[in-house]
Amino acid sequence: MRQFKIVFLFELKRFISAKSYWIITGILMLLLIVSISFPRMRGFFEELFNTSSDITDRETQTSILLVNGTEGLLSKKQRKVLQYVWGRTFPESRVELIDGSEDMCRHEVNSGNADCAFFFINTSSYTYYVKTLEMTDRRTSRADEALKKYQVMIVLQDADVKEEAIDEIVETEITHVTINLGTDQQKNFFYAYIMVMILYMVIIYYGQSIMTGVAFEKSSKAMELLVTSVDPTSMIFGKILAASASSLLQISLTACSAVLSYRLNGNLWREGSLVNTVMNMPGWIFRYMLLFFLLGFILYAFLYGAAGSTVTKMEETGQASLPITTILIAGLFVSLFSMTENSMDSLLFRACSYFPFTSPMVMFSRIAMSEVSEYQIAVSVAILIVSVILIGIISAKIYRAGVLVYGKRLTIRTMLTAVFFSK
C-alpha cells in the first residue's frame, strides 16, 4: 500500500506536470465556454454589425415554385385552392403557381430562381425538385399534408359546405401533451451518445499515454531498477489509478468551465436545445455515467499498461495496442448502432451489456435508453468490478514478464506462462 501511494503520487505528478496536459485542458475548457456562450456571442456580433434578424429573414426568404404539369386539367377554383393551401403550409416562403414542364423545374431550381419546385401531373402525386437536399429538409412531409388538405377542401367545396366551416375543419390547430412514464429515449440518446464518445476518446488518449509511459520506461531501461524496488502490482495499480485521477481532474475542470459558462448563458438557449438537455442531466444518469466511465476507463488502462510492457521499441506501441483498440471500437459500434437503430433489447446488445469490455458503453446506453432492472445493473457492475481486479492482477504479471524482455516482442506463450505460473 505504501509503495502504491508513492508510485501513484510520482505518476500523477508525471501526468499533471506535462505542458500538453494543461494545453489540452485549456483548449477543451475554452471550446466549451465558447460553445455554450454562442447565443450571447451571436447577439453581440449582430449588435456590432447592426444587423437585425428581420432583414436577414427577408433576404433569406425562400421561394417555392408550384409547377402545374396537368396540361389544363386544373380548374381555376382548384388552382386557387392549391395556391391557398401551399401558402398556408409554407408561410415563411414565397409560393408561386405556374404552368410548365419538368425541364422548367430543373432549370428554375438550378439557376437559383427558385429554392425548390413541386411538379404536379395530377393532384395526388408530385415530384419534388431541390438543389441540395438538406438533412433537416421536411418540405415533402409538409407538402403531403398540404395536398391532403387540398383534397378535403375540394371535396367539401363540391359538397357546398360553407367556406367558414371548411376553414374550421382544415385549419383547426391540434395540440397534444406527452406524459412519459418510462424512459425518455429522445433526451437520453444524447446522454448515452455523449458518455460513449467521451469514454472512447478518453480511453484512446490516456490509454496511449499510459502505454507510451510504460514503453518509455522500458526503452529508457529505468525498468530494471524499478522491478527490483517495487512489486509489480503496486507499480501498475499506482500507474493506472494515477492516470485515472488525472483524466478525472481534466474532465472535472472542463465540466466546471461548462457549468460556469452555462450559469451565465443558460437562459439564452431555447428549451429543448442540446445544451439545455445536456446541462440538465438527471442526477441518476450522471451517477451511472460516472460509475461506468471510471470502471471502463480503469479496465482499458490496465490493458494498455500491460501492452506497453510487451513492446521493446516505441514504434511497436501501435501494433501492440491494436487488439485493445479493436475491442474498444467494437463496443463503440455496438452501442452507437443499437442506439440509432433503437434495438436496445436485442440479444447482442443485452449480451454486450454484461461483457466487461463492452459493458461500460453498452450497459450505460441501455440504462439511459430503455428499461433495465436494478438487478441486471448490479450483475453488470459486479462483473465489471471483478474483471477490473482480475485484469489488474493479470496485467501486473504480464507487465512483470514483459518489462525485462529486451530485443524481441513478448510472445503469447511467455505471457500465458507468466499469467498462470508466476508467483
Cβ at position 423, least distance to another protein in Å: 8
The answer to whether the beta carbons of residues 154 and 78 sit under 8 Å apart is yes
With CB under 8 A as the contact rule, which of the stretches 20-28, 94-102, 226-234, 340-348 interacts with another protein?
Answer: 226-234
Q: Are 396 and 232 in contact (CB under 8 A)?
A: yes
Q: Is 233 in the site for another protein (CB under 8 A)?
A: no
With beta carbons less than 8 A apart as the criterion, state whether 358 and 334 touch: yes
Name which position in 32, 65, 105, 223 contacts another protein (CB under 8 A).
Answer: 223
Q: Which of 24, 152, 227, 385 binds another protein (CB under 8 A)?
A: 227
Q: For residues 69-104, b (16+ Cβ closer than 10 Å) or e, as one string?
A: beeeebeeebeebbebbbbebbeebebbbeebeeeb
Q: Between 222 and 255, whose beta carbon lies closer to another protein?
A: 222
Smaller CB distance to another protein: residue 17 or 373? 17
Minimum distance of another protein from residue 236's CB (angstroms) = 14
Query: Which region, judged by CB under 8 A, interacts with another protein, from 9-17, 46-54, 111-119, 173-181?
Result: 9-17
Instruction: Pick the stretch among 6-14, 108-116, 202-210, 326-334 that binds another protein (CB under 8 A).
Output: 6-14
DSSP per-residue string spanning 166-234? HHHHHHPPP------SS--HHHHHHHHHHHHHHHHHHHHHHHHHHHHHHHHHHHTT-HHHHHTTS-HHH
Q: Which of 135, 182, 407, 412 binds another protein (CB under 8 A)?
A: 407
**Residue 399 Cβ, how far from another protein at the closest point, in Å?**
13
Stretch that binds another protein, among 215-223, 245-253, 279-287, 291-299 (CB under 8 A): 215-223
The binder of another protein chosen from 164, 228, 375, 412 (CB under 8 A): 228
Query: Residue 205 or 406: which CB sits closer to another protein?
Result: 406
Q: Which of 42, 94, 221, 287 binds another protein (CB under 8 A)?
A: 221
C-alpha cell at 306: 500491460
- Burial label for 112, CB within 10 Å (0-12, 13-18, 19+), is exposed
CA distances from 335 to 81, 300, 364 (A): 49, 17, 9
Interface of this chain with another protein, residues 10 to 39, rule: CB under 8 A:
10, 13-14
CA distance 59 to 293: 48
Q: How is 302-320 classified by DSSP, letter by letter?
A: HHHHHHHHH-SSGGGHHHH
Please tell me the count of residues contacting another protein according to CB under 8 A: 21
350: contact with another protein by CB under 8 A: no
For residues 362 and 225, what is the distance between their CA atoms, to the nearest angstrom? 41
Positions in the binding site for another protein (CB under 8 A): 3, 6-7, 10, 13-14, 217, 220-230, 404, 406-407
